Amino acid sequence: MNQAAVRANRRKLVILAVIVLLCAAGYMFYAVNFGNSKLFHYSMKLRSPKLIVMLITAFAIAGASLVFQTIINNVIVTPCLLGMNALYSLIHTAVVFVAGSTSLLATNSNLAFVVDLVLMAVVATIIYGYLFEKTQHNVLYILLIGTVLTSFFSSIQTTMTRIMDPNEYDSLLETLVASFENVNAEVIVASLVVLAAVIFVLRKELALLDVISLGKEQAINLGVDYDRCIRRLLMGVTLCIAVATAMVGPISFLGLIMANLARQFLKTFRHKQLILASTLFGMAILIGGELIVERIYHYAVPISVFIGVFGGIYFLYLLLTNRRV
Amino acid sequence: MMNVKNLVKKYDGKTVVNSVSFEIPKGKVTSLIGPNGAGKSTVMGMISRLIARDAGIVMFEDQDISSWKSKELSKRLAILTQTNNIQMKLTVRELVTFGRFPYSAGHNTAEDEKIIDQALAYMELESIQDQFIDELSGGQRQRAYIAMVIAQDTEYVLLDEPTNSLDIYHASKMMKIVRRLCDELGKTVILVLHEINYAAFYSDYICAFVDGKIAKMGTVKEVITKENLAEIYNVDFEIMEIEGRPLSIYY
């Protein structure tokens, strides 16, 4: 039974992977002029960075959301509900505000990326690490504090933008409200490096996720160095969110949708499979959604609107059906 | 061997455990009893490293418990609390498999599987081993967790209110299991209990707490007397002897 369930889940994962490949192929080759090699190359040049960004984003958000839910021991939270996106906007704004949009910090996107990541990781780990300890991982408090922090960060950010030079604000806005039409493709390599580093540094902690999902007491009982482990994982979550946000901007409910679809689909506790499934769901949603947005709606409606609407409905459904929240 | 000296815990300046010292007899069942807020669960948390202590020493096998490697300690000492809410879809067998985690870190050998089978058989869980934990009754779930502790194969087993929220049938069955853990498997069991009679009938030693201090500690017969219980609980007691053990009556 045990092994059979694992095998059945593997089959499901293969099916998901095939769907993702189909979506990707559809996205890349829909309405492409194969006859003219120049036009073909031009289309590929436009589309492939977007595709890569979507794949990376899906993985970053999926991993971050699942790990975060396991840390909090609750399946309806996402790092976005805690204001990590708002924090990112704030830090990004603060960098431009202090150093100016023409400074090297803002014009060199790789350097800006690194600065964002470092600041974000330090600030988020201090704030959230402290809060989790203080509230003893009480989900309701954490969500409440997250809501308050979101408006707190946004207020500071708004204040900065108001007293900012209008031209500076203009160039800043481009990086703050990004979508897939406006991906930040220059940081693809840097993102991959960061994600790989996160996975490498946290490889031991990631292997402990299954045990951590049993709860704090059981994890300690089974020999997990809990506090240190949670701190490090939280740092990883922050970096992943920062990577995703840096490339495409805030997509709030995507992580929640992906993680819960994966849980419902696989009905397992194994995080390797869950992270893989939720990454694949994310890829399918993003690529499929973008295909629809670009080819059917002709860019009239951005994909974040769809994700917001359907994500919101799904969130309500989870709240109403999950009796253990 | 477990030796506790001058244990202190304060919450917001209020002392809940005040200079507690005792020694746990090896190979015996020891129950911690006392009224609500006497600090018995906090003591349990501190001797099992779940709760940080403010002062004092917890010596476990001639080494302070905080200087043990977490992983090594988890092969020697197991703790089961009442806050077990799992959000995952987990079967009974998978839960019991986690008991082998300190040894195999998720890659079980045939030997591990054998121990898991034995633990399941010992708790009579074979027929429901593929059911999900969240679909079980309270008694079955409790037994599944005990099976996990058995699979963890530790000399010391700490149970925080194992009879809590169980009915009389399952609670007395749980206490018989505790007895078997000690008598058949040779484990040292430490319990926090609310029911005095369960403590009196199924344990060897009793440690009674009042206001963060140990009021009485000794064998069951030494501690469970009319005078002692009246002093500990501030309620009048009658003691009857049944099967050579003191049964307390209160109302």
Percentage of residues in chain A having pLDDT higher than 90? 18
Residue A325: its pLDDT value, please?
Answer: 41
Cβ-Cβ contacts under 8 Å, A74 against chain B: 87
Question: What single-letter DSSP state applies at residue B91?
Answer: B
pLDDT at A324 exceeding the cut of 60: no
Flag if A220 and B86 touch (Cβ within 8 Å): no
Residue-wise pLDDT tens for chain B (251 aa)? Answer: 788 888 899 888 888 888 889 888 888 999 999 888 888 889 999 988 888 888 888 888 888 888 888 888 888 999 998 776 777 778 899 899 888 988 888 778 888 889 999 899 988 888 988 888 888 888 888 888 989 998 998 999 999 988 887 889 888 988 998 999 899 888 999 999 988 899 999 999 999 999 888 888 999 888 888 888 888 888 888 888 888 888 888 88
Nearest 10 degrees: Cα torsion B135, B140, B143, B145: 10
Facing B78 at nearest CB: one of A75, A210, A221:
A221
Average pLDDT for A313-324? 77
Residue A2: its pLDDT value, please?
Answer: 64
- Digit-coded pLDDT (tens) for A27-84: 888 877 777 888 888 888 888 888 998 899 999 999 999 998 888 888 878 887 777 7
Q: What ipTM was predicted for this assembly?
A: 0.85
Cβ-Cβ contacts under 8 Å, B90 against chain A: 269
Residue A178: its pLDDT value, please?
Answer: 53
Residue A156: its pLDDT value, please?
Answer: 94
A93, A147, A165 from A158: Cα distances, Å: 9, 17, 13
Question: What single-letter DSSP state applies at residue B25?
Answer: P
d(CA A103, CA A119): 17
SS3 B241: strand
Residue B203: its pLDDT value, please?
Answer: 92
Residue B206: its pLDDT value, please?
Answer: 92
- Digit-coded pLDDT (tens) for B75-130: 899 999 877 677 777 889 989 988 898 888 877 888 888 999 989 998 888 898 88
> Are A38 and A301 spatial neighbours (Cβ–Cβ below 8 Å)?
no
Flag if A75 and B87 touch (Cβ within 8 Å): yes
Cβ-Cβ contacts under 8 Å, B79 against chain A: 217, 220-221
Chain B residue with Cα closest to A267: B89
Residue A252: its pLDDT value, please?
Answer: 61
The helices-and-strands tally (H runs, E runs) of chain A is 15, 0
Residue A1: its pLDDT value, please?
Answer: 45
Flag if B98 and A225 touch (Cβ within 8 Å): no
**What value does the mean pLDDT of chain A take?**
83
> Residue holding tokens 């879809």?
B89
- Digit-coded pLDDT (tens) for A176-230: 765 666 667 778 888 899 999 999 999 988 888 988 888 888 888 888 888 888 8
Cβ-Cβ contacts under 8 Å, A267 against chain B: 89
Q: How far is A2 from chain B (nearest CA, A)?
A: 8
Cβ-Cβ contacts under 8 Å, A263 against chain B: 89
List residues of chain A with CB under 8 Å from any CB of chain B: 1-2, 69, 73-75, 207, 210-211, 213-215, 217-218, 220-225, 263, 267-269, 324
Report the candidate in A203, A186, A205 with the shortest Cα–Cα distance to residue A195: A203
Residue A181: its pLDDT value, please?
Answer: 67
> Are B58 and B4 spatial neighbours (Cβ–Cβ below 8 Å)?
yes
Flag if B70 and A217 touch (Cβ within 8 Å): no
Mutate to test the interface with A, among B42, B87, B116, B120 (most CBs of A within 10 A): B87
> Residue holding tokens 């409905």?
A313
Residue A274: its pLDDT value, please?
Answer: 92
DSSP-derived pairing of the beta strands B14-24 and B63-64: unpaired
Cβ-Cβ contacts under 8 Å, B48 against chain A: 221
Flag if A2 and B93 touch (Cβ within 8 Å): yes
Q: How far is A45 from chain B (nearest CA, A)?
A: 43
- Digit-coded pLDDT (tens) for A162-173: 888 888 888 777
Facing A223 at nearest CB: one of B74, B89, B106:
B74
Facing A220 at nearest CB: one of B49, B75, B98:
B49
Q: Which comes out higher in pLDDT, residue A252 or A16? A: A16
Average pLDDT for A8-18? 91
- Count chain A–chain B contacts defined by CB atoms under 8 A: 73
Residue B90: its pLDDT value, please?
Answer: 86
Positive or negative torsion for Cα B36, B41, B46, B52 = negative
Report the candidate in A307, A169, B66, B25 with the shortest Cα–Cα distance to residue A315: A307
Flag if B84 and A218 touch (Cβ within 8 Å): yes
Of A88-102, A147-161, A272-286, B188-202, which gets the smallest average pLDDT? A88-102
